[in-house]
Structure 1
Protein backbone atom coordinates (compact mmCIF):
# COMPACT_ATOMS: atom_id res chain seq x y z
CA UNK A 1 0.00 0.00 0.00
CA UNK A 2 1.35 3.39 -0.98
CA UNK A 3 0.04 6.93 -0.68
CA UNK A 4 -1.46 9.68 -2.80
CA UNK A 5 -0.13 13.23 -2.69
CA UNK A 6 -2.12 16.40 -3.29
CA UNK A 7 -0.10 19.33 -4.57
CA UNK A 8 -2.03 22.62 -4.44
CA UNK A 9 -0.63 24.80 -7.23
CA UNK A 10 -3.45 27.28 -7.72
CA UNK A 11 -2.00 30.21 -5.78
CA UNK A 12 -1.16 33.51 -7.46
CA UNK A 13 2.07 34.16 -5.55
CA UNK A 14 1.61 37.91 -5.05
CA UNK A 15 4.63 38.20 -2.76
CA UNK A 16 6.94 36.96 -5.51
CA UNK A 17 6.01 39.98 -7.69
CA UNK A 18 6.45 37.88 -10.80
CA UNK A 19 4.53 38.24 -14.08
CA UNK A 20 3.29 34.64 -13.95
CA UNK A 21 2.81 31.79 -11.49
CA UNK A 22 6.02 31.58 -9.41
CA UNK A 23 6.00 27.79 -9.82
CA UNK A 24 7.31 28.24 -13.37
CA UNK A 25 10.39 30.14 -12.20
CA UNK A 26 13.47 28.05 -12.95
CA UNK A 27 16.13 26.95 -10.50
CA UNK A 28 19.20 25.79 -12.41
CA UNK A 29 17.23 24.85 -15.52
CA UNK A 30 14.16 23.28 -13.93
CA UNK A 31 11.01 25.00 -12.75
CA UNK A 32 10.06 24.96 -9.07
CA UNK A 33 7.03 22.84 -9.93
CA UNK A 34 9.08 20.30 -11.89
CA UNK A 35 11.50 19.89 -9.02
CA UNK A 36 8.63 19.30 -6.60
CA UNK A 37 6.93 16.80 -8.91
CA UNK A 38 10.20 14.92 -9.43
CA UNK A 39 10.42 14.22 -5.69
CA UNK A 40 7.15 12.28 -5.71
CA UNK A 41 7.50 10.81 -9.21
CA UNK A 42 10.72 9.10 -8.05
CA UNK A 43 9.45 8.07 -4.60
CA UNK A 44 8.62 4.37 -4.62
CA UNK A 45 5.73 4.66 -2.14
CA UNK A 46 3.93 7.39 -4.07
CA UNK A 47 1.15 5.93 -6.22
CA UNK A 48 -0.46 9.08 -7.59
CA UNK A 49 -0.04 12.84 -7.74
CA UNK A 50 -3.09 15.10 -7.77
CA UNK A 51 -2.40 18.73 -8.75
CA UNK A 52 -4.93 21.51 -8.10
CA UNK A 53 -4.35 24.28 -10.64
CA UNK A 54 -5.50 27.72 -11.74
CA UNK A 55 -7.51 27.93 -14.97
CA UNK A 56 -4.84 30.09 -16.60
CA UNK A 57 -2.14 27.50 -15.84
CA UNK A 58 -3.98 24.40 -17.07
CA UNK A 59 -2.40 24.41 -20.54
CA UNK A 60 1.17 24.79 -19.25
CA UNK A 61 0.76 22.15 -16.56
CA UNK A 62 -0.95 19.73 -18.96
CA UNK A 63 2.14 19.95 -21.17
CA UNK A 64 4.32 19.31 -18.14
CA UNK A 65 2.14 16.38 -17.13
CA UNK A 66 3.24 14.40 -20.19
CA UNK A 67 6.70 13.97 -18.62
CA UNK A 68 5.33 12.07 -15.62
CA UNK A 69 3.61 8.74 -15.05
CA UNK A 70 1.97 9.37 -11.66
CA UNK A 71 0.07 12.61 -12.31
CA UNK A 72 -3.67 12.10 -12.52
CA UNK A 73 -6.05 14.40 -14.47
CA UNK A 74 -5.68 17.95 -13.18
CA UNK A 75 -8.13 19.32 -10.63
CA UNK A 76 -9.28 22.92 -10.85
CA UNK A 77 -8.30 24.83 -7.74
CA UNK A 78 -10.65 26.90 -5.61
CA UNK A 79 -10.62 30.44 -4.24
CA UNK A 80 -8.60 29.37 -1.21
CA UNK A 81 -6.03 26.60 -0.71
CA UNK A 82 -8.58 24.83 1.47
CA UNK A 83 -11.07 24.65 -1.41
CA UNK A 84 -8.39 23.32 -3.78
CA UNK A 85 -7.45 20.47 -1.46
CA UNK A 86 -11.08 19.63 -0.76
CA UNK A 87 -11.71 19.29 -4.51
CA UNK A 88 -8.60 17.14 -4.90
CA UNK A 89 -9.54 14.84 -2.01
CA UNK A 90 -12.52 13.60 -4.02
CA UNK A 91 -10.12 12.13 -6.59
CA UNK A 92 -7.89 10.25 -4.14
CA UNK A 93 -7.82 6.44 -4.34
CA UNK A 94 -5.46 5.53 -1.49
CA UNK A 95 -6.19 5.29 2.23
CA UNK A 96 -3.13 7.42 3.01
CA UNK A 97 -2.88 10.95 1.66
CA UNK A 98 -0.18 13.60 1.91
CA UNK A 99 -0.50 17.28 1.11
CA UNK A 100 2.60 19.13 -0.07
CA UNK A 101 3.19 22.74 -1.05
CA UNK A 102 4.09 23.00 -4.72
CA UNK A 103 6.64 25.67 -3.79
CA UNK A 104 8.67 23.34 -1.52
CA UNK A 105 11.03 21.63 -3.99
CA UNK A 106 13.64 20.39 -1.49
CA UNK A 107 11.91 17.86 0.76
CA UNK A 108 13.76 14.54 0.76
CA UNK A 109 12.54 10.96 0.50
CA UNK A 110 13.75 10.04 3.99
CA UNK A 111 11.42 12.61 5.53
CA UNK A 112 8.49 11.39 3.41
CA UNK A 113 9.25 7.83 4.51
CA UNK A 114 8.99 8.84 8.17
CA UNK A 115 5.65 10.54 7.61
CA UNK A 116 4.30 7.52 5.76
CA UNK A 117 5.45 5.09 8.45
CA UNK A 118 3.88 7.25 11.14
CA UNK A 119 0.45 7.11 9.48
CA UNK A 120 0.79 3.37 8.87
CA UNK A 121 1.37 3.01 12.62
CA UNK A 122 -1.74 5.08 13.38
CA UNK A 123 -0.28 8.54 14.03
CA UNK A 124 -1.05 11.46 11.69
CA UNK A 125 2.03 13.63 11.25
CA UNK A 126 3.57 16.74 9.72
CA UNK A 127 7.10 17.98 9.17
CA UNK A 128 8.33 20.84 11.34
CA UNK A 129 11.49 22.55 12.55
CA UNK A 130 12.03 23.99 16.02
CA UNK A 131 11.83 27.80 16.19
CA UNK A 132 15.21 29.53 16.50
CA UNK A 133 13.94 33.03 17.18
CA UNK A 134 12.12 34.32 20.23
CA UNK A 135 8.39 34.60 19.49
CA UNK A 136 6.30 37.40 21.00
CA UNK A 137 2.58 38.13 21.06
CA UNK A 138 1.69 41.77 20.34
CA UNK A 139 -1.48 43.84 20.44
CA UNK A 140 -2.98 45.95 17.63
CA UNK A 141 -0.45 48.70 18.40
CA UNK A 142 2.48 46.28 18.14
CA UNK A 143 3.09 46.47 21.89
CA UNK A 144 4.46 43.20 23.27
CA UNK A 145 1.95 41.40 25.48
CA UNK A 146 3.80 38.15 26.14
CA UNK A 147 6.77 35.99 25.16
CA UNK A 148 6.25 32.37 24.18
CA UNK A 149 8.42 29.46 25.21
CA UNK A 150 10.61 28.90 22.18
CA UNK A 151 11.20 25.26 23.13
CA UNK A 152 7.56 24.42 22.46
CA UNK A 153 7.27 26.25 19.11
CA UNK A 154 7.77 24.68 15.70
CA UNK A 155 7.67 26.13 12.21
CA UNK A 156 5.42 23.76 10.28
CA UNK A 157 6.31 22.45 6.84
CA UNK A 158 4.90 19.99 4.35
CA UNK A 159 4.27 17.22 3.48
CA UNK A 160 1.52 16.63 6.01
CA UNK A 161 0.24 13.06 6.19
CA UNK A 162 -3.13 11.61 7.21
CA UNK A 163 -5.58 8.88 6.41
CA UNK A 164 -8.03 9.93 3.73
CA UNK A 165 -10.94 9.24 6.07
CA UNK A 166 -9.65 11.58 8.80
CA UNK A 167 -8.63 14.37 6.43
CA UNK A 168 -11.93 14.26 4.55
CA UNK A 169 -13.91 14.42 7.79
CA UNK A 170 -11.78 17.33 8.99
CA UNK A 171 -12.54 19.24 5.80
CA UNK A 172 -16.24 18.41 5.99
CA UNK A 173 -16.33 19.67 9.58
CA UNK A 174 -14.40 22.82 8.72
CA UNK A 175 -16.71 23.81 5.88
CA UNK A 176 -19.82 23.07 7.93
CA UNK A 177 -18.52 25.35 10.71
CA UNK A 178 -17.11 28.05 8.43
CA UNK A 179 -13.53 27.42 9.57
CA UNK A 180 -10.68 28.45 7.26
CA UNK A 181 -7.46 26.80 8.41
CA UNK A 182 -3.91 27.84 7.67
CA UNK A 183 -2.85 24.26 7.00
CA UNK A 184 -4.32 20.76 6.88
CA UNK A 185 -3.11 19.82 10.36
CA UNK A 186 -5.02 22.74 11.90
CA UNK A 187 -8.26 21.37 10.47
CA UNK A 188 -7.51 17.86 11.72
CA UNK A 189 -6.68 19.30 15.14
CA UNK A 190 -10.02 21.16 15.15
CA UNK A 191 -11.78 17.84 14.67
CA UNK A 192 -10.13 16.47 17.82
CA UNK A 193 -7.49 14.24 16.20
CA UNK A 194 -3.89 14.32 17.45
CA UNK A 195 -1.16 15.26 15.00
CA UNK A 196 2.55 14.65 15.67
CA UNK A 197 5.58 16.56 14.42
CA UNK A 198 8.40 14.79 12.64
CA UNK A 199 11.65 16.74 12.41
CA UNK A 200 11.98 18.45 9.05
CA UNK A 201 14.98 20.41 7.82
CA UNK A 202 15.96 24.02 7.28
CA UNK A 203 16.46 23.31 3.59
CA UNK A 204 12.79 22.36 3.11
CA UNK A 205 11.94 25.99 2.40
CA UNK A 206 8.79 27.34 0.78
CA UNK A 207 9.73 29.63 -2.08
CA UNK A 208 7.56 32.67 -1.48
CA UNK A 209 9.57 35.87 -2.03
CA UNK A 210 12.44 36.85 -4.38
CA UNK A 211 15.06 36.22 -1.67
CA UNK A 212 13.88 32.60 -1.51
CA UNK A 213 14.99 32.11 -5.11
CA UNK A 214 18.53 32.98 -4.05
CA UNK A 215 18.28 30.62 -1.09
CA UNK A 216 17.01 27.89 -3.39
CA UNK A 217 19.99 28.32 -5.67
CA UNK A 218 22.34 27.97 -2.70
CA UNK A 219 20.55 24.83 -1.50
CA UNK A 220 20.89 23.28 -4.96
CA UNK A 221 24.58 24.15 -5.11
CA UNK A 222 25.15 22.45 -1.75
CA UNK A 223 23.18 19.40 -2.87
CA UNK A 224 25.37 19.08 -5.95
CA UNK A 225 28.54 19.42 -3.88
CA UNK A 226 27.38 16.67 -1.49
CA UNK A 227 26.60 14.35 -4.40
CA UNK A 228 30.06 14.93 -5.87
CA UNK A 229 31.84 13.72 -2.75
Structure 2
Protein backbone atom coordinates (compact mmCIF):
# COMPACT_ATOMS: atom_id res chain seq x y z
CA UNK A 1 0.00 0.00 0.00
CA UNK A 2 1.33 3.52 -0.79
CA UNK A 3 2.82 5.54 2.07
CA UNK A 4 0.41 8.11 3.51
CA UNK A 5 1.12 10.97 5.92
CA UNK A 6 -1.51 13.22 7.46
CA UNK A 7 -0.98 16.98 7.25
CA UNK A 8 -3.11 19.02 9.64
CA UNK A 9 -3.15 22.84 9.39
CA UNK A 10 -3.74 24.04 12.96
CA UNK A 11 -2.25 27.55 12.97
CA UNK A 12 -5.61 29.35 12.74
CA UNK A 13 -7.06 31.38 15.59
CA UNK A 14 -10.74 30.57 14.87
CA UNK A 15 -11.89 34.20 14.97
CA UNK A 16 -15.41 33.31 13.80
CA UNK A 17 -15.79 31.02 16.80
CA UNK A 18 -14.61 33.63 19.32
CA UNK A 19 -13.14 33.12 22.76
CA UNK A 20 -9.58 33.22 24.09
CA UNK A 21 -8.64 29.69 22.96
CA UNK A 22 -8.37 28.46 19.38
CA UNK A 23 -11.28 26.11 18.67
CA UNK A 24 -9.00 23.17 17.87
CA UNK A 25 -7.95 23.11 21.53
CA UNK A 26 -11.43 23.23 23.06
CA UNK A 27 -12.30 19.99 24.81
CA UNK A 28 -14.92 17.47 23.77
CA UNK A 29 -15.47 14.52 26.09
CA UNK A 30 -12.18 15.23 27.88
CA UNK A 31 -9.96 15.59 24.80
CA UNK A 32 -9.13 18.57 22.55
CA UNK A 33 -10.92 18.78 19.21
CA UNK A 34 -7.51 18.38 17.55
CA UNK A 35 -6.89 15.11 19.43
CA UNK A 36 -10.12 13.65 18.06
CA UNK A 37 -9.16 14.74 14.53
CA UNK A 38 -5.65 13.27 14.77
CA UNK A 39 -6.85 10.01 16.29
CA UNK A 40 -9.41 9.55 13.52
CA UNK A 41 -6.68 9.92 10.88
CA UNK A 42 -4.12 7.75 12.63
CA UNK A 43 -6.66 4.98 13.21
CA UNK A 44 -6.22 3.92 9.57
CA UNK A 45 -3.48 1.35 9.01
CA UNK A 46 -2.20 3.14 5.89
CA UNK A 47 -1.46 6.43 7.69
CA UNK A 48 2.14 6.39 8.95
CA UNK A 49 2.03 9.54 11.06
CA UNK A 50 1.07 13.22 11.11
CA UNK A 51 2.60 16.64 10.57
CA UNK A 52 0.73 19.41 12.40
CA UNK A 53 1.31 23.03 11.37
CA UNK A 54 0.87 25.27 14.42
CA UNK A 55 1.15 28.99 15.08
CA UNK A 56 4.62 30.28 16.05
CA UNK A 57 3.24 31.57 19.38
CA UNK A 58 1.03 28.54 20.09
CA UNK A 59 0.90 28.17 23.87
CA UNK A 60 -1.85 25.54 23.75
CA UNK A 61 -0.02 22.81 21.82
CA UNK A 62 0.09 19.81 24.22
CA UNK A 63 3.50 18.64 23.03
CA UNK A 64 2.39 15.31 21.56
CA UNK A 65 5.11 13.35 19.80
CA UNK A 66 2.91 10.37 19.09
CA UNK A 67 -0.71 9.28 19.13
CA UNK A 68 -2.08 5.79 18.57
CA UNK A 69 1.52 4.58 18.54
CA UNK A 70 2.38 6.69 15.47
CA UNK A 71 4.68 9.74 15.23
CA UNK A 72 3.29 13.26 15.44
CA UNK A 73 5.58 16.05 14.19
CA UNK A 74 5.05 19.81 14.20
CA UNK A 75 6.14 22.74 12.08
CA UNK A 76 5.34 26.45 12.03
CA UNK A 77 2.33 27.27 9.88
CA UNK A 78 1.45 30.44 8.00
CA UNK A 79 -1.12 33.21 7.82
CA UNK A 80 -3.43 31.31 5.45
CA UNK A 81 -4.52 27.68 5.40
CA UNK A 82 -2.63 27.07 2.16
CA UNK A 83 0.56 28.48 3.72
CA UNK A 84 0.24 26.06 6.63
CA UNK A 85 -0.40 23.07 4.39
CA UNK A 86 2.60 23.93 2.21
CA UNK A 87 4.77 24.34 5.33
CA UNK A 88 3.59 20.93 6.52
CA UNK A 89 4.39 19.28 3.20
CA UNK A 90 7.87 20.79 3.14
CA UNK A 91 8.49 19.83 6.78
CA UNK A 92 8.06 16.19 5.78
CA UNK A 93 11.40 16.33 3.95
CA UNK A 94 13.56 13.58 5.39
CA UNK A 95 10.54 11.95 7.01
CA UNK A 96 8.37 10.92 4.07
CA UNK A 97 9.29 10.33 0.41
CA UNK A 98 8.37 13.04 -2.10
CA UNK A 99 5.89 10.72 -3.81
CA UNK A 100 4.11 9.78 -0.57
CA UNK A 101 0.43 10.68 -0.35
CA UNK A 102 -0.54 13.69 1.77
CA UNK A 103 -3.84 13.39 3.62
CA UNK A 104 -4.85 16.95 4.52
CA UNK A 105 -7.50 17.32 7.21
CA UNK A 106 -9.02 20.22 9.13
CA UNK A 107 -7.86 20.46 12.74
CA UNK A 108 -11.41 21.34 13.78
CA UNK A 109 -13.13 18.43 12.01
CA UNK A 110 -13.13 15.72 14.71
CA UNK A 111 -15.89 13.33 13.59
CA UNK A 112 -14.24 11.58 10.64
CA UNK A 113 -15.51 8.05 10.03
CA UNK A 114 -12.95 5.33 9.34
CA UNK A 115 -15.14 3.93 6.54
CA UNK A 116 -15.08 7.31 4.75
CA UNK A 117 -11.30 7.44 5.03
CA UNK A 118 -11.03 3.91 3.69
CA UNK A 119 -13.12 4.79 0.60
CA UNK A 120 -11.18 8.02 0.01
CA UNK A 121 -7.84 6.20 -0.02
CA UNK A 122 -9.13 3.48 -2.34
CA UNK A 123 -10.49 5.99 -4.89
CA UNK A 124 -7.41 8.23 -4.82
CA UNK A 125 -4.99 5.33 -5.20
CA UNK A 126 -6.97 3.94 -8.14
CA UNK A 127 -7.47 7.30 -9.87
CA UNK A 128 -3.99 8.76 -9.41
CA UNK A 129 -4.69 12.51 -9.40
CA UNK A 130 -6.26 12.56 -5.95
CA UNK A 131 -9.66 12.75 -4.32
CA UNK A 132 -11.59 14.59 -1.63
CA UNK A 133 -14.45 13.77 0.69
CA UNK A 134 -17.50 15.80 -0.23
CA UNK A 135 -21.27 15.90 0.24
CA UNK A 136 -23.90 16.63 -2.42
CA UNK A 137 -25.81 19.87 -1.86
CA UNK A 138 -29.32 18.90 -0.79
CA UNK A 139 -30.84 22.27 0.16
CA UNK A 140 -32.37 24.74 -2.27
CA UNK A 141 -29.84 27.49 -2.98
CA UNK A 142 -30.72 31.18 -3.22
CA UNK A 143 -28.53 33.91 -4.71
CA UNK A 144 -28.93 37.25 -2.92
CA UNK A 145 -29.05 40.73 -4.42
CA UNK A 146 -27.37 43.81 -2.93
CA UNK A 147 -30.49 44.66 -0.90
CA UNK A 148 -30.55 41.28 0.81
CA UNK A 149 -33.43 39.91 -1.22
CA UNK A 150 -33.51 36.85 -3.45
CA UNK A 151 -32.08 37.47 -6.91
CA UNK A 152 -32.47 33.90 -8.17
CA UNK A 153 -32.81 30.27 -7.20
CA UNK A 154 -29.69 28.36 -8.14
CA UNK A 155 -29.85 24.80 -9.48
CA UNK A 156 -28.19 22.44 -7.01
CA UNK A 157 -27.58 19.55 -9.39
CA UNK A 158 -23.87 18.70 -9.68
CA UNK A 159 -23.01 20.92 -6.68
CA UNK A 160 -21.06 19.42 -3.77
CA UNK A 161 -19.73 20.75 -0.46
CA UNK A 162 -16.02 20.09 -0.11
CA UNK A 163 -15.05 18.33 3.12
CA UNK A 164 -11.77 16.94 4.39
CA UNK A 165 -9.63 14.89 4.32
CA UNK A 166 -8.32 15.67 0.84
CA UNK A 167 -5.71 13.28 -0.55
CA UNK A 168 -2.99 14.01 -3.12
CA UNK A 169 0.59 13.05 -3.83
CA UNK A 170 2.85 15.14 -1.66
CA UNK A 171 5.11 16.47 -4.42
CA UNK A 172 2.23 17.36 -6.76
CA UNK A 173 0.29 19.17 -4.03
CA UNK A 174 3.34 21.13 -2.87
CA UNK A 175 4.02 22.26 -6.45
CA UNK A 176 0.36 23.24 -6.97
CA UNK A 177 0.20 25.25 -3.74
CA UNK A 178 3.50 27.01 -4.49
CA UNK A 179 2.30 27.88 -8.00
CA UNK A 180 -0.96 29.34 -6.68
CA UNK A 181 0.94 31.44 -4.12
CA UNK A 182 3.32 32.62 -6.83
CA UNK A 183 0.34 33.75 -8.91
CA UNK A 184 -1.16 35.62 -5.96
CA UNK A 185 -4.12 33.22 -5.68
CA UNK A 186 -5.43 32.38 -2.21
CA UNK A 187 -6.76 28.84 -2.51
CA UNK A 188 -9.41 27.82 0.01
CA UNK A 189 -8.73 24.10 -0.18
CA UNK A 190 -6.14 21.73 -1.64
CA UNK A 191 -8.40 20.59 -4.45
CA UNK A 192 -8.58 24.17 -5.77
CA UNK A 193 -4.80 24.26 -6.12
CA UNK A 194 -4.75 20.87 -7.84
CA UNK A 195 -7.59 21.89 -10.21
CA UNK A 196 -5.50 24.92 -11.26
CA UNK A 197 -2.64 22.50 -12.00
CA UNK A 198 -4.88 20.46 -14.30
CA UNK A 199 -5.56 17.49 -12.02
CA UNK A 200 -8.79 15.54 -12.38
CA UNK A 201 -9.82 15.38 -8.72
CA UNK A 202 -12.43 12.80 -7.76
CA UNK A 203 -15.33 13.43 -5.38
CA UNK A 204 -15.95 10.72 -2.78
CA UNK A 205 -19.24 11.04 -0.94
CA UNK A 206 -18.68 11.29 2.80
CA UNK A 207 -20.92 11.35 5.82
CA UNK A 208 -22.86 14.55 6.50
CA UNK A 209 -21.83 14.45 10.17
CA UNK A 210 -18.15 15.03 9.29
CA UNK A 211 -18.63 18.53 10.63
CA UNK A 212 -16.14 21.36 10.98
CA UNK A 213 -16.41 23.22 14.28
CA UNK A 214 -16.96 26.85 13.31
CA UNK A 215 -19.50 28.07 15.88
CA UNK A 216 -20.40 27.15 19.49
CA UNK A 217 -23.49 25.37 18.12
CA UNK A 218 -21.20 23.16 15.98
CA UNK A 219 -19.17 22.28 19.06
CA UNK A 220 -22.28 21.16 20.96
CA UNK A 221 -23.48 19.05 18.03
CA UNK A 222 -20.10 17.38 17.51
CA UNK A 223 -19.89 16.67 21.25
CA UNK A 224 -23.21 14.83 20.99
CA UNK A 225 -22.14 12.92 17.86
CA UNK A 226 -18.84 11.79 19.38
CA UNK A 227 -20.49 10.75 22.65
CA UNK A 228 -23.01 8.67 20.69
CA UNK A 229 -20.26 7.09 18.60
CA UNK A 230 -18.28 6.19 21.73
CA UNK A 231 -21.39 4.71 23.31
CA UNK A 232 -22.12 2.64 20.19
CA UNK A 233 -18.52 1.37 20.15
CA UNK A 234 -18.68 0.46 23.85
CA UNK A 235 -21.93 -1.42 23.30
CA UNK A 236 -20.50 -3.29 20.31
CA UNK A 237 -17.40 -4.25 22.29
CA UNK A 238 -19.47 -5.43 25.25
CA UNK A 239 -21.88 -7.51 23.20
CA UNK A 240 -19.57 -8.67 20.42
CA UNK A 241 -21.86 -6.99 17.88
CA UNK A 242 -20.46 -5.55 14.64
CA UNK A 243 -20.85 -1.82 14.01
- TM-score, reference length from structure 2: 0.87
Change beyond 3 A, Cα 1:60–1:17 = closer
CA contact (8 A) 1:96 1:162 kept: yes
Q: Indicate the structure with greater helix content.
A: 1
Pick from 153, 156, 163: which aligns with 2:162? 156
How much has 1:123 moved relative to structure 2? 4.1
Alpha-carbon RMSD = 1.8
CA contact (8 A) 2:176 2:193 kept: yes
CA contact (8 A) 2:187 2:193 kept: yes
143-152 or 191-200, which moves further after superposition? Answer: 143-152
How much has 1:2 moved relative to structure 2? 2.4
Structure 1 position 218 matched with structure 2 position 219: no
Q: Which runs of 4+ in 1 moved over 4 A?
A: 66-69
What's the secondary structure of 1:88's corresponding residue?
helix
Distance 1:72 1:219 in 2: 26
What's the secondary structure of 2:57's corresponding residue?
helix
Aligned match of 1:19: 20
Aligned match of 1:98: 103
Aligned match of 1:119: 124
How much has 1:68 moved relative to structure 2? 5.6
How much has 1:66 moved relative to structure 2? 5.3
Q: How does 1:40-189 map to 2 (within 5 A)?
A: 40-57=41-58, 60-65=60-65, 67=67, 69-92=69-92, 93-94=96-97, 95-121=100-126, 122-189=128-195
CA contact (8 A) 2:131 2:167 kept: yes
84-93 or 200-209, which moves further after superposition? Answer: 84-93
Residue segments in structure 2 that go unaligned for 5+ positions in a row: 237-243
Distance 1:183 1:5 in 2: 15
How much has 1:201 moved relative to structure 2? 0.8
Residue segments in structure 1 that go unaligned for 5+ positions in a row: none
Distance 1:214 1:224 in 2: 16
Distance 1:82 1:102 in 2: 14
96-105 or 137-146, which moves further after superposition? Answer: 137-146
Change beyond 3 A, Cα 1:67–1:113 = closer
How much has 1:147 moved relative to structure 2? 2.6
- TM-score, reference length from structure 1: 0.91
CA contact (8 A) 2:29 2:227 kept: no
How much has 1:102 moved relative to structure 2? 0.6
CA contact (8 A) 2:144 2:151 kept: yes
